[in-house]
């Protein structure tokens, strides 16, 4: 079944309205504006997952300098299409992207998909002490 889906790394294929619709319902990007989603896509290396009918049913993006660091974000597959290894296919496509080879560090944050990422070679941060953040959880509500 997963062979019926196709991936695209072409920014022109990303269906911003579909991505925005999902993200506004997610725990990590509720209230995000469509304009912010557009800027995020433009500044990232993205992969889209498309059903046979052309509907975008999944998405993932990497924020990166393409030399030393990558941050994986906004990974999702619509509920009706889960259970076929499609999120793993998207993440693997990003792992394998020629511009992302030789990076020293990849990071991500997840509340509920540790198993998916562990199966793809991700590990918990052993010592979180060096890591810091500036976090503005309500910024999308102001936009």
Domain layout of the chain by residue ranges = 2-121
Which pLDDT does position 109 carry in this prediction? Answer: 95
Q: Which helix (H) or strand (E) holds 16?
A: helix 16-23
Which pLDDT does position 3 carry in this prediction? Answer: 81
Q: Which helix (H) or strand (E) holds 61?
A: strand 56-64
How does pLDDT run along the chain (143 residues), one tens digit per residue?
568 999 999 999 999 999 999 999 999 999 999 999 999 999 999 999 999 999 999 999 999 999 999 999 999 999 999 999 999 999 999 999 999 999 999 999 999 999 999 999 999 999 999 999 999 999 998 75
Taking the model in full, what pTM does it have? 0.94
Which pLDDT does position 15 carry in this prediction? Answer: 98
Q: For domain 2-121, give its CATH number from 3.40.630.30, 3.40.630.10, 3.40.50.2300, 3.90.1150.10.
A: 3.40.630.30
The Cα-based distances of 70 to 56, 80, 106, 107 in angstroms read 24, 29, 5, 6
Helices (H), 4-132: 16-23, 34-42, 86-95, 114-119
Which pLDDT does position 143 carry in this prediction? Answer: 56
């Amino acid at each position: 079944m997963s062979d019926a889906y196709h991936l695209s790394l072409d920014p022109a294929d990303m269906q911003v309205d579909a991505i925005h619709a999902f993200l506004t319902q997610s725990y990590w990007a509720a209230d995000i504006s469509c304009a912010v989603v557009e800027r995020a896509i433009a500044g990232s290396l993205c992969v889209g997952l498309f059903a046979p009918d052309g509907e975008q049913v999944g998405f993932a993006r990497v924020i990166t300098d393409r030399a030393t660091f990558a941050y994986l974000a906004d990974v999702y597959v619509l509920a009706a299409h889960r259970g076929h290894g499609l999120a793993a296919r998207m993440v693997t496509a990003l792992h394998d992207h020629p511009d992302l080879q030789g990076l020293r560090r990849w990071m991500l944050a997840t509340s509920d998909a540790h198993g998916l990422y562990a199966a793809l070679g991700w590990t918990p941060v052993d010592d979180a002490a060096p890591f810091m953040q500036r976090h503005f959880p309500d910024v999308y509500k102001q936009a």
